[in-house]
Amino acid sequence: MEPLNASSERISTGISGLDHVLCGGLIPRRAYLVNGPPGSGKTTLGLHFLTAGRPDEKCLFVTLTEPVESIVGNARALGFDLARVEFLDLTPTAQFFAEAQSYDIFLPADVERQPMAQRIVETVTALSPTRVFIDSMTSFRYLATDPYEFRRQALSFLRFLVESGATVVFTSEASPEAPDEDLQFISDGIISLSYDRNAGRGLEISKFRGSDFEPGRHAVVLHKSGMDVYPNVHPVKSHAERSLDMLSTGIKELDELFGGGIERGTITLLTGPTGTGKTSLAVQLASASAARGERTVFFSFEEEVDLIAFRARSLGIRVDEMIAAQRLSLVKVEPLRYTPQEFYALVEREVAKEGARMVVIDSTAGYKLSLRGIDLASHLHALAKFLQAMNVTTVLITETHDVTGDFRPTDEHVSFIGDNIVFLRYLEIDGELKKAIGVLKKRLSNFEKTLREFELTPEGIRIGEPLTKLRGILRGIPDWKDS
């Protein structure tokens, strides 16, 4: 194989997320192993690789397991254009059992004596492909006399292809009956595909000679158009000019409670038990952002967006007008459908391509459900830090389970993420159930230290005067003092 170097030349795998994980794509004229169990997407990845080349590139698909007719039919169903892909079908024929014939693969000097190797050499010599996909090398293993001979022959075969000018991607089943440690050793890179009933499909790079790569398990989605890879979520450094403009909430009394408003680019947690009005308050903040002419996106893991819009209209918030003007988007996110990496990509697209300036996420409980047992705090922290790095104002809704009792900012231990923490609580005053709102934390400026009554009315959200006679709300035992 060619000498290792830190080559900046890359070729695309045809999957943008995988190219990102590989820090730009594959290094040309090397051999890469893709392993994983049946159904994990190895062949689909190979089809992306073969069809991602330039119009003048010649590509070769060598199949030892699945007939060409079946591959072509499945590829066309997924929308792949195979016009530039040549096929070499080495699968057993219908007469296989009637013939007393064995197959082997030899070094180039011995290859003329063996029909299978002869066909490979002739095809590669005639075509001179720049991309070769072999599915799968596991089949060659059963043709070798012993493990040492297989490794020697496989290495010779890959060297022949690479020295012919091809970048090679080859697959292996990596089963307990046929482990592929020897193939891992001789390959220049290893892309491992996996499937877990709880965590879903995944991809991990364990080796990539001559280059760095994104570590960890990355999400994989197979769909009607092939495969998508969603890189793992990591905090990013700030790469947008920070602006700490004070943003109005659209309600004078709420601005007073915030000490003037919310600074742009900060992360605000809205916390409280169910039914206190967290979503309605978040819609108000989103509508104020849209009213300033800024694109705002409201992601709902909980309620359907038509119900959110209906409740907003009942509060006098003109969401229909803002949606029609494309300044406000209400997006329903089904937590069991999206992986956290997919959701991150969805948010990133809204910010980077659509120019969103405020993002609302309702709620952390729904987001946690999409994580399927994976740590919430680390993923949420990475997402929040990305938004902050892009100078996007973020609102996160988080629910506390206890309606009464000792005060806790959140039940998910994510309060450290918030620059601002706003809490909503139930009150009982003279036998009547009421709600109160207060600010617990504001990192960048001062704020009002009192609580105010919070009420949802047909005229909008009403914030009352400071409740200076209320005591003990944080202890869970509110007491009204007349003097």
Query: Among candidates 295, 303, 355, 351, which has minimal Cα distance to 325?
Result: 295
Is residue 220's pLDDT more than 90? yes
Q: Can you tell me the distance from the alpha carbon of 70 to that of 82, in angstroms, rounded to the nearest whole number?
A: 13
Is residue 96's pLDDT more than 70? no
16-230 and 246-480 share one fold: yes
Q: What is the DSSP letter of 26?
A: B
- pLDDT computed for residue 480 by the predictor: 62
Is residue 82's pLDDT more than 80? yes
- pLDDT computed for residue 267 by the predictor: 95
- pLDDT computed for residue 399 by the predictor: 86
Query: Mean pLDDT over residues 100-126, rounded?
Result: 61
Residue-wise pLDDT tens digits, 135-153:
988 877 776 667 787 888 8
Is residue 109's pLDDT more than 60? no
Where does 372-435 have alpha helices with state H? Answer: 376-389
Q: Where are the domains of the chain?
A: 16-230, 246-480
Q: Can you tell me the distance from the alpha carbon of 467 to that of 455, in angstroms, rounded to the nearest whole number?
A: 14
3-class SS at 364? helix
Residue-wise pLDDT tens digits, 319-345:
999 999 999 999 999 877 888 888 889
- pLDDT computed for residue 373 by the predictor: 58
- Which of the four pLDDT bands, split at 50, 70 and 90, describes residue 5? very low
In this structure, what are the phi and psi dihedrals at residue 26, rounded to the nearest 5 degrees? -85, 150
Is residue 66's pLDDT more than 80? yes
- Which of the four pLDDT bands, split at 50, 70 and 90, describes residue 4? very low
Is residue 6's pLDDT more than 50? no
DSSP codes joined into one string, 427-462: EEETTEEEEEEEEEEESSS----S-EEEEEETTEEE
Query: Mean pLDDT over residues 379-408, rounded?
Result: 84
Angstrom distances, CA of residue 25 to CA of 9, 13, 120, 167 = 9, 6, 27, 12
Q: Can you tell me the distance from the alpha carbon of 36 to that of 291, in angstroms, rounded to the nearest whole number?
A: 50
Instruction: Give the chain's mean pLDDT.
Output: 86
Is residue 414's pLDDT more than 50? yes
Residue-wise pLDDT tens digits, 7-29:
568 999 999 999 999 999 999 99
| Radius of gyration, CA atoms only, the chain | 30
Q: Can you tell me the distance from the alpha carbon of 153 to that of 159, in angstroms, rounded to the nearest whole number?
A: 10
Is residue 104's pLDDT more than 80? no
Domain 246-480 has CATH 3.40.50.2300: no
Is residue 233's pLDDT more than 60? yes
Contacts of 478 (CB under 8 A, 6+ apart): 427, 428, 429, 470, 471, 472
Query: Among candidates 355, 386, 360, 367, which has minimal Cα distance to 233?
Result: 386
91 vs 264, more confident? 264
Query: Mean pLDDT over residues 398-411, rounded?
Result: 70
Strand pairing of 218-223 and 226-230? antiparallel
Query: Mean pLDDT over residues 84-97, rounded?
Result: 76
Residue-wise pLDDT tens digits, 266-281:
999 999 998 999 999 9
Query: Mean pLDDT over residues 441-458, rounded?
Result: 92
Q: Can you tell me the distance from the alpha carbon of 268 to that of 450, in angstroms, rounded to the nearest whole number?
A: 18
Question: So what CATH class is 16-230?
Answer: alpha beta
- Which of the four pLDDT bands, split at 50, 70 and 90, describes residue 105? very low
Q: Can you tell me the distance from the alpha carbon of 454 to that of 128, in angstroms, rounded to the nearest whole number?
A: 73
Is residue 453's pLDDT more than 50? yes
